[in-house]
Every structure is written in C-alpha cells, then in structure tokens.
Structure 1
Amino acid sequence: MRLPNMSSNYLLAPIAESADYISGRDIKLTVLGSNSVGKTAMIVRFLTRRFIGDYESNTGNLYSRLVHVEGEQVSLQIQDTPGCVQVQEDFSQDVDFVSRCVQWADGFLLVYSITDYGSYQSIRSLHQHIRKLHPDPKAPVVIVANKGDLVHARQVQAEDGLQLANDLGALFLEISTSENCQDVSDVFQHLCKEVSKLQNGGNGEKRRASVISRPKSPNMQDLKRRFKQALSSKVKSSS
C-alpha cells in the first residue's frame, strides 16, 4: 500500500534537551538496505533539516533526538546499518550485527534505489529476516524507493515497488532524498506514528518497554573495506 499523504503539520517536533530531562519512552528505528542506496543520507537529511543539526550520532551510526510524537515526549533513536550484509558467507559478523539491530528496533525502513535493481531484489529477503527474528510480528515496516530524481537511470518502476509492498504487507513511498526533504520527513513521521500506536496497544494503554540493549556497532569504514575485498576476490575466482 502507498504511504498516505501527511498533513502540513509535522508529527515530529524537536524539544529542548536538558541534563535534567529523562525521556519516558523510546522509539527505535533501524534502516536497512543494500550498499549505496542512500540510507545514511536520508537519515541525516531528515535530522538536519527538521532539527537544524541538533542531534547526536556516535561512531556506530546511531542517531538520537528528543522529539514530540502525537503530543508525547520520546527519545527517537535511528540505527543505520552497513549495506554489505547480502554477502553472508563472508560477513557473518556483520550479519550478526544486523540481526541484533532487527531484534532491538521497534520499526523498520527498508530502502532501495530505483537505479539499482539488485537493491530492490534484496528487500524481500531483508523483510523475511525481520519477520524471522523480530519478537513482534506486527512491527511496522515502510519500504522506501530512493533516488526518485534519477529517472534517466531508472531500473525499478514505481509500480514494482508498490506491488512488493502490497505483497509484504508494508507501506511504500518513492522519494528523492536530494530534492525533497518533505518526502523524507513523511517517511519517518508515519513510521514513528505506527510504532507509537503499537506501543500503546492500539487503545491508549502503553505496553511494557523493550529491555533489549542496543547492539554494539562494528566499524563502518572497516565493513566497507572488507566488502570491497570480498567482491574483488569473488571476481577473481569466477574468472
């Protein structure tokens, strides 16, 4: 199903942080997808445009910010992940990290690029990975087709993305991170709203908070280096 149009009023509004403030609830999102589909750019664009750069990031690519979600103050945490997890036989440690991210999160963004058909194909297996490992089968998922401005290099039609989302019971939106900040904001707005409804049990009664700790992140630069080495060795062996 396609993501519904959001109103001009932002669902997420920044609140002033202070040393004395302790957030009563977390919303934890994990962003998954192949390499070079724009996951990190999408996260940073959302935070820097909405929050004027007032956010925190650690070396493990966890981004956090205090926000309002439907009138309640929460701690929004967004976990970025490496894009090389498809080569599972060479990156068992990285797959283990992504698996812990799946178990940790409350909601998921699955991102592919419209210019890379392989990244589109990976979405189904990533969705299966989520449903296999996550303790809540109702954890919300939004599928995002990124780089919508590169129509001259399109390999995946919007109808294909929409059909995939319908097959998986997820929501869908095609966006351009580089051109439209509002679309990027809409993605995070809707996912936060869906997570909040799930945490409240759909009837206003808050569910018990998750006790799963955030996974320790591997070195992202090292992941990219080892990914390139693995691809190089595969090319040599095949030739």
Structure 2
Amino acid sequence: MPRSNGESFLLDANITLLCWELVFLCAITGGVGKSCLTAQFVQNVWIESYDPTIEDSYRKQIEVDGRQCILEILDTAGTEQFTAMRELYMKQGQGFLLVFSITSMSSLNELSELREQIMRIKDDENVPIVIVGNKSDLEEDRAVPRARAFGLSQNWGNAPYYETSARRRANVNEVFIDLCRQIIRKDSEGSRSSSDPSRKREGPNRHDRKRDNRRPRKRGPCVIL
C-alpha cells in the first residue's frame, strides 16, 4: 500500500460540493524531479538529495475557481521494473502529469511511450494531461529546446506545457491547478452528457439509489508519471 505523506486537514462542514481528484505523476527515467515537485506542492519543502521513489501517496486540499478540491497524488517509480504497477495506477488515475527534465532529451522522448500507454489503458484520447519540463533553473544544462517540447504538446492536442523548477518553486502550483481544471471540466461534460434527455436511460437500481444518498464519492487519484 502507498505510504501517505500528505498533510492532515479538517474538511469545512459548509462545503457541500467537494471534488476528489486522483493525480498520477509519471516518468520512465528516474531523477527528473517529480518527487521534488510533489514535495514542494504538498509540503512547501525542497528535497536536496535524490532518493529513488518506489511509491508515495500524498493528499492536499486546494481551491480551484472557487471550488474545493482534494487532490490525491500518486508518485510512482521512474523505473521500468515497476511497469505492471504503473499500469494498475493508470487505470485508476483521472489526470496525469508527464514529467521530464529539460536537461535530458531521452526523458522527453520517453513521454510518448507513457502517453500511448495511458491512451491504451484508459481507452480515451481526451485524458487530462499536463506536460511538465522540470529543472528550469538549470538553463545552462538545457538539452531540450522549448520549441521541441511545445511541438510535442501541439501534436498531443495542444496539451498544456509548463517548465517548472522544484528548487525555486516555479510553476509548481500552476501545473496541478491546470490539471485539476481539466479533470473538473471533463467530469462536468460527462455529467451533462449523462443527463441529456435525448439519451436513453434506465432507472437507477437499488445499488445506485443507495450510492446517491451518500456523501460525494472518492474518485480516482491524480497520478504523476
């Protein structure tokens, strides 16, 4: 089971509409800084030493456009030996941060494989994704031209692209907020589609009626790859 490093908090009793998003951080190559991004976002700390991640989970409550959201963030191993585990989490994830280092062209090239894997597992070409070029503070070591990364984002349906620095906390909040907006928008579009009276619908079964009477459901995590 993931070990939780997220902050603890109390939910406001007046919050009637709460979205619970699962974010997945993804990378095949280790050392791109995805764990440092997560630590800065959740805990406002900079991790100096590199400790290869096997699996960490975090939780953070944020406000996005006036809406309270709980992000459950899964930071997975950036090594090929954990491919099977990563596929399992891809099935659960609602949104994905695809992270590479601007100092490593190979880490960018490997994102195409990750995206194809996500599209195949989710069977959906409109999965919320943000491309993250980390280590922007190491400009003198840049190996990935901005134009190359922007070109990739355009080829992927104009997926948002950010350059971040976990060390300087540059654009750290922005990538998570952008991804959360995408998840909310996709969820809203799905809700409108399901409520369309022109669509044939069956009455709720007993299980659905019980579920509707419960508090907002916990949904899939946000995954960082």
TM-score, length-normalised on structure 1? 0.67
Which moves more between the two structures, 62-71 or 167-176? 62-71
Q: Is the 8 A contact 1:142 1:171 kept in 2?
A: yes
**Distance in 2 between the 1:66 and 1:204 partners?**
25
Residue 7 of structure 1: aligned partner: none
Q: Secondary structure at the match of 1:36?
A: coil
RMSD: 3.2
Which of 115, 127, 135 is 1:139 aligned to?
127
Describe how 1:164-183 pairs up with structure 2 within 5 A. 164-169=152-157, 170-179=159-168, 181-183=169-171
**Distance in 2 between the 1:115 and 1:39 partners?**
14
Runs of 4+ that moved beyond 4 A = 18-24, 202-214
Cα offset, 1:95, TM superposition: 0.9
**2:58 is aligned with 1:63:** yes
Residue 17 of structure 1: aligned partner: 10
TM-score, length-normalised on structure 2? 0.71
Residue 31 of structure 1: aligned partner: 25
Gaps (5+ residues) in structure 2?
1-6, 46-53, 196-211
Gaps (5+ residues) in structure 1?
1-13, 51-58, 86-90, 215-239
**2:65 is aligned with 1:81:** no
Query: Comparing both chains, which one has the higher relative contact order based on Cα–Cα distances under 8 Å and sequence gaps of 6 or more?
Result: 2
Cα offset, 1:151, TM superposition: 1.6
**2:112 is aligned with 1:124:** yes
**2:95 is aligned with 1:107:** yes
How many residues are paired up? 185
Q: Residue type matched to 2:38 in 1?
A: I
Cα offset, 1:210, TM superposition: 8.2
Q: Is the 8 A contact 2:94 2:220 kept in 1?
A: no
Q: Is the 8 A contact 1:115 1:155 kept in 2?
A: yes
Cα offset, 1:68, TM superposition: 2.7
Cα offset, 1:174, TM superposition: 1.3
**Distance in 2 between the 1:23 and 1:45 partners?**
27
Which of 172, 188, 193 is 1:200 aligned to?
188
Residue 41 of structure 1: aligned partner: 36
